Copies of this chain bind each other. A is one copy, B any other.
């Protein structure tokens, strides 16, 4: 009887040890599922991105456009991340003129994703800006009223994924400049941006800046 108990306890100890070891190794790798941490550098060569907007269709091979097809670049990665939003997109952007990024935001809006945009009061009016196209499509846009420049270039998707860096959402930045974008789900980095977005959103509520009566 005591030999049985001893055997049982021994087996328990071994199982416990193995379980703890497995958990330890999992945590060492960054948790049950590793949090996304990715860095994108620019400029990139121009490639066809049509297949990202029509994932169910027989693209990219059948697309007739003259651009290179089927290539993964920092820009296709950025577009893929952006288009992965399911519930919300909070975008805080100094300059926004790139048409593919605008198309992606409009697609999200059409899908029912709650899109909020904060932008710069001067740069939203420059030639090629996509801000008025977003507004026409019903996207909720506010512009910064209290700073020289609203110079941020960040987006938070689904309150979970942060995209932030030096890159304005312009074609020059994407195709001609040396730029970076950091993409992460790390909560210690994402949460401060969520709070800052809400702070800027609230402080630039147009209702607060239009005294009545």
Contact = CB atoms under 8 A, between A and B. Distances in A.
A12 B99 CA distance: 65
A2 B24 CA distance: 33
A173 interface: yes
Contacts of A200: 178
23 contacts: A2-B2, A2-B3, A2-B5, A5-B6, A6-B6, A13-B16, A16-B20, A17-B20, A19-B20, A24-B24, A37-B189, A39-B189, A39-B196, A94-B166, A149-B178, A150-B177, A151-B173, A152-B179, A154-B166, A164-B165, A164-B166, A165-B166, A180-B193
Contacts of A165: 164-166
Contact of A164 (B177, B178, B182): B182
A103 interface: no
Given A9-B6, A166-B166, A178 B147 contact: yes
Nearest to A39: B192
A172 to B, nearest CB: 6
Contacts of A177: 147-151
A28 interface: yes
Interface in A138-179: 144, 147-154, 164-167, 172-173, 176-179
Contacts of A182: 164, 182, 189
Report copies per complex.
Answer: 2
A86 to B, nearest CB: 24
A10 interface: yes
Contact of A186 (B13, B92, B94, B186): B186
Contacts of A184: 189
Contacts of A6: 2, 5-6, 9
A41 interface: yes
B178 A166 contact: no
Interface in A167-213: 167, 172-173, 176-180, 182, 184, 186, 188-189, 192-193, 196, 200
